[in-house]
Structure 1
Amino acid sequence: MITSRLLPELTARLTAAAHTRAAACPCGITTTLADRPDALLVRHGHTVAKAHAPDTDPAALTRRLTTAAGVPGVLLPPLHPTPVDLHGRLVTFWPYGTPVDPDDPDRAPWEAAAALLARLHRTPAPAGLPTARGPAEAARAVARLRETGPHPATAPVLRAWAALPAWARAEAPMPDTATLCHGDLHLGQLVRHPAPEGPWLLIDVDDLGTGVPAWDLARPAAWYACGLLPPGEWDRFLTAYRAAGGPAVPAHGDPWAALDVPARALTVQSAARAIAKAAAAGRPLDEVEQCLVDACARMASVPPPLTRGNPT
């Protein structure tokens, strides 16, 4: 298993990087924060090392790191502008930040997330930045679903996917190629830095790029539409984004002409991942997962509207 070969050297590199930032080790402990096929994250003191997905493009990741370093106060900057290669995995180093507490939903930083997104979307995108990977990640989730094998929940998800425009399925260029986007916004992508009570910043540059800014609002929009995010929290997020001058939705009135297609795509992506995960575990869908599948069934019966951001 690659993690078993990668972890010792990654830990050694991380420890060395942490000790260049502090004369004395602040904790003496190395902790694995995440170990997934697409990411291995390890923390030592105030420093985090991330081994990116095996298929990560070095040039694209370097451009994304450079962009993150150039948007202070919005994106957490990397400690080094270029990744290193360890056993075929690109590794980057970051300052540690305090994540959102998943056990305290009443303190979820919706307003901070919205304001950061608005600032990001108003930042001129640097030349040569890759396309944001949101649609590509949705397409990858659907591809994995197709590889999962027969499942009773698959059909409505694939019907909802087929009804989306080509750009939302990563089969055509996105209609916006100038706006700087995060590409995978959710509350797990925010940290306080400096830890523990510094300002909120966005993390994870793997999907950063140019694209349709409404995609960055799509996950909370989808959860709200599915009944999984309370209306009050959605209103806090949308209101804060508009107040900060975010360009993804109109400043007033109905935002759904801009949000409908990205929200549908994120619903399909979430449902596809849920089915694949449940099938791999040999268990039935839980209540939240079933809500996502049910939403796909409803979506398939009502085609997305044709708008400026939804070309045929």
Structure 2
Amino acid sequence: MTPNRLLPDLAAHAEATAHTLAPACGSCTAVTLADRPDATVVRHAGTVAKAHPPDSVPADLVPRLTAAARLPGLLLPPLTPAPADLHGRLVSYWPYGRPVDPADPDAAPWEEAAALLAGLHRTPAPAGLPAMRGPVKAARAVKRLRSATAAPRAAATAVLRAWDTVPAWARAEAPQPVPGALCHGDFHLGQLVRHPAPDGPWLLIDVDDLGTGVPAWDLGRPAAWYACGLLPPDEWSRFLAAYRAAGGTAVPAAGDPWPALEVPARALTVQTAARAVTKAQEEGRPLDEAEQCLVDACDRMVPVPPELAQGSPK
């Protein structure tokens, strides 16, 4: 079933759940928040219904939902403990939270995000939680680029060459280093909401990639943006300082953080560049300035030193 055929039934389920939880919800209109092949998300009043990726299975998703329910100060808790099945897609239900406003970058909650990640990384991983899926998603982005027949030759070559410099665990070709910490797996500012809306505390959302792994992965995307010149130094410094102040375990409490961040930052730079090059090819356009910065960063990559290959400082 394609996302477009799934959408009307998902909206109906969101409405039914919203009316069950709050019969006088005051709304009879469903709003589509996302409609992609890997996720369809619909809001009705204070209830959000999410159809998870087609390859999601209960054995992985249920422990992730359980973890979110047990960590309400860090993760937005689901409304129901187990997913439903809708046309072969697993569906979960959540309270609505107000997301970060992309039009107001000065208000980005970097300090709050850092504190949430630090708290997550300090929390013992629940038994039965699967591995964090960040490296799997990076590998899929590169695989998709390889299959793009008309990808810009020079850009694609730079990205694929950079991928070869990434250690096997970060390419999902080997197990992640152990012992693993509790990780979000796909952190960026779009994974934060205020709940209760509009001014409640910030919480992390999206448990599809939650699991055990290298905690530096969750800092890897901001680190990559900073290294590529896409995140201002002040914002990066605020984020890193807040993470350390909150007792985060992904980097040393003082000193150079890059021995821990090198591998995740490079893997996520390649992932983001691979997506950018593939998207530009599909849209028949040249790379924009930000996309070219990512490709240029890939072009500068050299093999990671062996002492850094495990993703943690030695």
Q: Specify the alignment match of 2:99 in structure 1.
A: 99
Q: Specify the alignment match of 2:276 in structure 1.
A: 274
Q: Specify the alignment match of 2:54 in structure 1.
A: 54
Residue type of the partner of 1:268?
V
Measure how far apart 1:53 and its partner are: 1.0
**The residue matched to 1:307 in structure 2 has which SS?**
helix
Distance 1:278 1:204 in 2: 26
Measure how far apart 1:26 and its partner are: 2.8
Measure how far apart 1:28 and its partner are: 2.3
Distance 2:88 2:179 in 1: 31
Q: Specify the alignment match of 1:169 in structure 2.
A: 171
- Aligned identity (percent) is 72
Measure how far apart 1:13 and its partner are: 1.3
Which range moves more in the overlay, 98-107 or 302-311? 302-311
Q: Specify the alignment match of 1:126 in structure 2.
A: 126
Measure how far apart 1:308 and its partner are: 5.7
Q: Specify the alignment match of 1:254 in structure 2.
A: 256
Q: Specify the alignment match of 1:293 in structure 2.
A: 295
Q: Specify the alignment match of 2:26 in structure 1.
A: 26
Check if 1:160 corresponds to 2:158.
Answer: no
> Is the 2:68–2:78 contact (alpha carbons within 8 Å) kept by the matching residues of 1?
yes
Once superposed, what is the RMSD of the aligned Cα atoms? 1.2
> Is the 1:258–1:309 contact (alpha carbons within 8 Å) kept by the matching residues of 2?
no
The alpha-carbon distance between structure 1 residues 199 and 73, as it changes in their structure 2 partners (threshold 3 A), is same
1:113-150 Cα shifts (integer Å, max 9, x gaps): 00000000000001111000000000000000001124
Measure how far apart 1:176 and its partner are: 2.9
**The residue matched to 1:78 in structure 2 has which SS?**
coil
1:150-193 Cα shifts (integer Å, max 9, x gaps): 42211111111101111011000011343100000000000000
Which of 179, 182, 186 does residue 181 from structure 2 map onto?
Answer: 179
Q: Specify the alignment match of 1:217 in structure 2.
A: 219
Q: Specify the alignment match of 2:68 in structure 1.
A: 68
Which range moves more in the overlay, 236-245 or 52-61? 52-61
Distance 1:246 1:214 in 2: 10
Measure how far apart 1:23 and its partner are: 2.8
**The residue matched to 1:180 in structure 2 has which SS?**
strand
TM-score (norm 2): 0.96
**The residue matched to 2:125 in structure 1 has which SS?**
coil
Measure how far apart 1:309 and its partner are: 5.3
Which of 235, 247, 266 does residue 264 from structure 1 map onto?
Answer: 266
Distance 1:154 1:177 in 2: 35
Measure how far apart 1:57 and its partner are: 1.6
Unaligned runs of 5+ in 1: none
Q: Specify the alignment match of 1:138 in structure 2.
A: 138
Structure 1 stretches of at least 4 aligned residues deviating more than 4 Å after TM superposition: none
Measure how far apart 1:2 and its partner are: 2.3
Distance 1:26 1:251 in 2: 49
Residue type of the partner of 2:279?
K
Distance 1:164 1:262 in 2: 9
Measure how far apart 1:3 and its partner are: 2.7
> Is the 1:99–1:188 contact (alpha carbons within 8 Å) kept by the matching residues of 2?
yes
Count of residues in correspondence between the two structures: 309
Which range moves more in the overlay, 220-229 or 171-180? 171-180
> Is the 1:223–1:229 contact (alpha carbons within 8 Å) kept by the matching residues of 2?
yes
**The residue matched to 2:121 in structure 1 has which SS?**
helix
Distance 1:288 1:308 in 2: 27
Unaligned runs of 5+ in 2: none
Residue type of the partner of 1:195?
A
Residue type of the partner of 2:237?
D
Which of 206, 209, 221 does residue 208 from structure 2 map onto?
Answer: 206
> Is the 1:175–1:309 contact (alpha carbons within 8 Å) kept by the matching residues of 2?
no
Residue type of the partner of 2:74?
V
Distance 1:128 1:308 in 2: 29
1:187-218 Cα shifts (integer Å, max 9, x gaps): 00000000000000000000000000000000
